[in-house]
Each structure stands twice: as C-alpha cells, then as structure tokens.
Structure 1
Amino acid sequence: MHDIKTIRDDAAGFDVGLAHRGILPVSKELLELDEQRRAALAKQQELQASRNALAKRIGEAKRAKADTAELEAEGAKIRAEMEALDAEGPRLDALLRDMLSKIPNLLDAAVPEGRDEADNKMLKHWGEKRDFAFPVKQHFELGEALGLMDFSGAAKLAGARFTVLKGALARLERALGQFMLDVHTTEHGYSETTVPLLVNDATMFGTGQLPKFAEDLFQTTDGRWLIPTAEVSLTNLAAGEILPAAKLPMRLTALTPCFRSEAGSAGRDVRGMLRQHQFHKVELVSITKPEESGAEHERMTRAAETILERLELPYRRMLLCAGDTGFSAVKTYDLEVWVPGQETYREISSCSNTRAFQARRMNARYRAGEAKPDFVHTLNGSGVAVGRALIAVLENYQNEDGSITIPAALRPYMGGQEKITAA
C-alpha cells in the first residue's frame, strides 16, 4: 500500500508512476480526501482546546458564584460538534485507506512498457528442446493412456478443473515437491515452514489479495480464505513485527496445496492440469532490508532456475512488461518452461519484488541499532509450481511407447525407478 505522505510530497511523480501501468491520475482525488481528513483532525484539536479553555472559565465562574448557563450552553455546542467529528474522522480515514488499498504498486524503471504478455522481454534462454522422432502427445493424453491420470473421477468428486493422480504419477508429483524443498533448504538457505492453508481477512489484505481479488479466492462459511499461494501465510509471519536487522534476510519456503477460483479464465486451458482450482506449489519468500531487495530478487530467481536445470527442462526467463506485472510487484521475472505437446513455453515460476508495498499493508518493520523502525522489503516466487513441473516432465520425457523416463534428479525420490509405464 502507498504512503499518503509520499504522495503529498510528490503527487506529480506518483501519477507518472501510475501512468507507467496505464492507470489514470488519482493523486488529486487522494489529496482532496486527505485534506478533508486532516482538516477534520485539526478542527477536533481546535475544539478540544476550546473545550478545555471553556471548562476553566466555567470553573472560575462557579467559584465566583456567577451565572454559568451561557457558558454551559456553549460547552454543549462544542461537545456536539466534537461528537460529530468523532465519527467523521474514522470515516474519512477508512475511505482514504480503502482508496489507497486498491492502487497497485509503482513499477521499477527497468520494467518495459507494454499491455500484456506479448510485450514481455526475454532475458535468457536455457537448454535445448528435444528433437522427437515420433508424434508428441500432451500430458493429459499421456497420463490417461498410462491409466494414472483421472479427470472424470475428479469431476465426479469436485467438478471441473480437478485431477486425480494415481500410482507412479502420484508418487512423481510428491517426488517433485520433495526434491524442490531439499534443494532450496540445503543449497539456497531457505527454511522449510508448515503454514495454515486457511487465513483471515487481515492476512489476505497484507499481501494484496484483498480487497481487489476477492473473486479469485475461495472463502469458507466462517469467513476464512483458502490460500491461493503460500506467499500469503509465509509473508504475513512478519505482520506487525519489528524484526532485528541481524535476522534479515529471512528466507522461508513451503510446499502447500494452493486454491484458486480461476474466475477470469473461463474457456482457457480447460484440458488437463494447466489451470486447476487446486494444485501444489513450492513457494519462496524473502524478507530483507530495503537496500538488499534488488540483489535478493536476482538470487531468488536463480534458485528457481536451478530446479529446472536439475530437471533438464528447457526454459526462458522473461521480464514482465508494465501491463503484465502483478498488483503488488514493482518488478517480476517469469520462468517459462518448454511444453512440447503444446509447442510453446508456459509459466512455471513467477518471482517478484514488492519492496515495502506489502510491508506497509501488514506493518512489517525492522530496526537497525537505535534507529527508528523502517519497513522491510518482501519478495516472493515459485520454486516452482509442482503441477506444471509434472506436466513439463511428462511431455519432455515421453517415449514413443507412451512410457515416461524419470529425470535422473528425481530417481532417488522414486525408489530408483527409471521409467513409468502403463498401470
């Protein structure tokens, strides 16, 4: 969330920043509301001073046995005005906070102009695409032919956009998640964490899912929300805290189910496992000092890239353009893995630096020595999406007979098994 003081100091610069995202200027409206709020506060303080002075005059009049009726009537008038302002101040505060909470983060200067994913910039390509000597199949064709991927059974249980995995494919999904956690915890310094999958409004607000993206979420009847990513729970562990500078950076990782309504994706990726209501993902979260977040962003993205390289999956790193960068991010790298069945690259990881945007929403700060507490910077990334990694392995490691060769990095997690064949 944005600081109204910063907007007050440089309204024109704030509007220029929003224009980078293609958003019309809002500083005038914000500052008008802020002025009303500050005027209400000043008036309340003025009335309190008048009330104190009047109380003193009434006391003096009573000691002199003078008539205080007129003074007391004036006091009643002041009290009524103050009571009205008691409600007006919080109302204006809430309005301003609501407006600020719906404005996205300002983008880094390095983010290219553009409207959508077609304008993203490729920064890096790794790996060689396999040259198949037979017609390539998509993951759902392979999984169903193996008898280990069941969409109709999942639909019977829960409806569309769910999958049942069986046998070796279920184990392969588990192996992918365990492999990713092991690499990130033993080589990249992330601390494995188990977090709640159900969270409250404040937690969703802290990372920017609420109020703007409520329709993309699942909510329970008691008002809790199913997490769309472990970023929500992991990042909010710092909410309301003042962390010692010596504890930064904090690097956390979790393997969790994630839940998304996919409200805006009707008709997209309806076949297979690409766009599911429920999927597993290994999440990476870093909490840093402000001056360290840029380097941490590069480090986090490299950690995610390592997973794809160990699995020997061709990928590319993309710098997202202004129109494709998420609400909370100042800068985002997407890693896109090659999916031969579709003959295209698909996103498998998104690594973002949000700077102080989330920290301000959740009041997450740090203190260096005796200095005044300052907001931390928060970063998040997929390390990586397990379901999409499963898709990429199936399609890149498929054989002409429909079997799947298991990547060497995963064989220790599969009991030494080298190939998946029909059940």
Structure 2
Amino acid sequence: MLTGHDGRAAWTRAAADRIERTDDNVAPIVYPPATDRFDGLHVWDTWPLRNRDGSLAEIEGHRVLCALTSTDELLPGKRHDVAAIYYFHSTDGATWEHGGPLFDGDALGSRQWAGSTMYDDGDVYAFYTASGRRGEAELTYTQRIAGATGGTVTVDGGGLSIDGDWDHRTLLEPDGELYEREDQSRGMTYTFRDPWFFEDPDGGGTYLLFEANTPVSESEDPCDDDPAAAEFNGSVGIARSPTGDPTAWELEPPLLDAVCVNQELERPHLVVRDGTYYLFVSSHQHTFAPGIEGYDALYGFVADGLRGEYRPLNGDGVVATNPANAPFQSYSWTAYDHGEEVLVVSFFNYFDYAGETLDGIADLPEPEQRRRFGGTLAPTLRIGLDGDRSRLLGTLEHGVVPLPGEGLDPVDRGGRPRGDGRVGGPY
C-alpha cells in the first residue's frame, strides 16, 4: 500500500522519482488541423455531456461537448480571466457546431472554470468551478464548486440546443480540515475546483470528484525535513450525495494525496472496468515539488474499488505525455471508456515551442504568442489498459469523439507514430 499524509492512499515521491518518457506513453508531435472547427474562439478544457451512469450521452443522434471558451481576439494567456462554458454538438463526433454559451449571465463567479455535465431523463445538470466573485472590480482567485439545474435539451430541424431557466448555487467549499482553504494556502497556487460527477457501479453511490489541496501546517514535517516540498500538497477530493440528489453533497476524505509530490491534480475522473477503478488526473511539469522531474501529462492510478489502495499505473503514473521537443503541445486530458480501449480528448496548447517552461511564452512577441497557441481540440488518444499497465495505442484526428460501439478511423493503426510522428496538417 502506498500511503501518505494521514495514512491515505498517496502518490509518493518514490513513485514520482521514476517518471520517464517511454515508447508506451509519448504522444506524436501535433500540427494544427487543416480546418479549425472553432474559428474565432479559443477553446481549451473540454468534457463530454454524459449520462448519469457515466456513458457518453447520445440525444437523437447528437453528442455534446462543453469547453472553456473565449474570443481569440485575446492573447492566449489572458483567456482564463474571462473563461465561460460554451457547448458544441455533433452528429458524427468529428464536425462540431457551436451552440453558444451554456449559461445566461447568472452563473456564479466572475468567470467559470472546468467541471462536468450530466444528462438525466431530459434534464441537464452542470457542475463547474466558480472563480472569483461576480461583479468584482479586480480579479480574485477564490474557488468554489458550483452547480446549475434547469437546463433542457431540444433537438429540431435547426440542430440541438441547451436552454432553460438555470438555477445556480454553491455546492461545496473547503472546510479547512479535509481540504485547504485559500487563507491556509502556502503553495504556489490554490485549488478547489474541477467537479466531476460519478455514480459508482459497485453499490451505486453518487459522488463528485474534484481537485483540492490537503492542509499541512507549518508544524508538520511530512516531507523528511524538506519544508519547501511540504508546500506541494495536491489531492483528489471527493464528496458524496447521501440521497443521490445531484445538488446535495457532503465532503469526505480525499481519494488520493500528493503531499510532497505535486501541487495540482487537475480534472480528476474515473473509468471503471470489470471492477477495476482507473483514476486519471492532468498535471504540469512546474507543479511538481523540488527534486522531482515531471511533465505536462495525463497521470493515472489504479485500485480495486472506489476507496481502494490507489497505485500509480506503470509504476510512475505516466499514461500519456507530450514529446520532449514539444513539451506543451497538449493539456487537460479527459478519458472515457470505448470498449476495449480508452479514448482521451484534450486541447491543443502551445506548439512549435520547446522552452523549459511556459513562462517563456510571455517573452515572445504578441504575434508569436498567438501563432503558437492551438486553442482548439487536440488529436484524440487511444489508450490500452491491462491491470496496472497502460499503453498508448495510437491517435485519431483532432477533436474526434466516437461513441462506444462506433468504429475508429485512426491516424496511426500500428500503435506508434507513422513517418515523423506528426498529426494534422503543416503549419
């Protein structure tokens, strides 16, 4: 058992010290798509509309993606300051039509960050991160988990639309004991965000997973006399609905701690297969604690139950990462089950850039900052899972989201990149 702070399942330093790029986890270099399906917009953190049981929703032949969105008139680095959730729909999982903002002007926060959406008997439930306070004169980074009910889907000759008289409310805030409050934070960033709805197939409990930080007081020494590492205290949080009501939640202890290892375990979500629970998170190279060399990558953990003893896939946790010569080309990976494989959607981030950190982007001339930002969906990854192991099998084209049961038209049928390993058209 890998245990960390307070005896919880943990991503330990010993496991993270083994992180490496291998033939089984490095994605091919990506070119921009020949045609941008989201012209005029920056599109990044993305998630599909799912049914209550976690399967992808198909509504009269349509599937739906939600994404954080802004106008592409902004410099890419400014998009988080105005982020709003938009939705897109498709009948083939490859060509996406813009549905517009998911909400009207009544959403909580000065902007909305990532979450999840659930379709249940005609109703849409939205879970999102309310960042800042609506109407604030100066941006703040207070985060709380919010929910909205009242959305409905209509399909007619004009396509699909999501409308409704949305009722927004705060669902969860950190308690300061299980999950760090903003005023307790000693770390480089503060997190209480990214709610993801989940119903456990083993027993049917109703849960929200989210990204958080574990409180670590300055009097504690969890990192063997390394106080700097103790400031890196990411966790995968969880709340349970006692009645199954998607608007009523109670905090429970984290599923996984990364104290002394990593500050941000972003976009946590699960894929359950034959009683095995695969927990996935995204993280950045710059959020690892001093002394650990990690990557911008999709990381995964496996357990025999929701509250099991999570252990890193492949021994180090790396499931899919960017190549060394394009280390920031994709981010914010979301996995979903597709029969014998797991498919992973993400967004096309900064390409044609091999700096040591993303901080160097801000030093580039503005036209170069714009040129090197993808701002659209990345190629979909195909992942094979086998017990405690995973393997990158290949890729689909940019933004392709097949439903389970639909065949795949892979760019790479052999499991490794073809030719020079690039996906998409030339710059």
Q: TM-score normalized by structure 1?
A: 0.27
Q: Which has the higher strand share?
A: 2
Whichever of the two has the greater Rg, that structure is 1
Q: TM-score normalized by structure 2?
A: 0.27
Larger relative contact order (C-alpha < 8 A, sep ≥ 6)? Answer: 1
Q: Which has the higher helix share?
A: 1
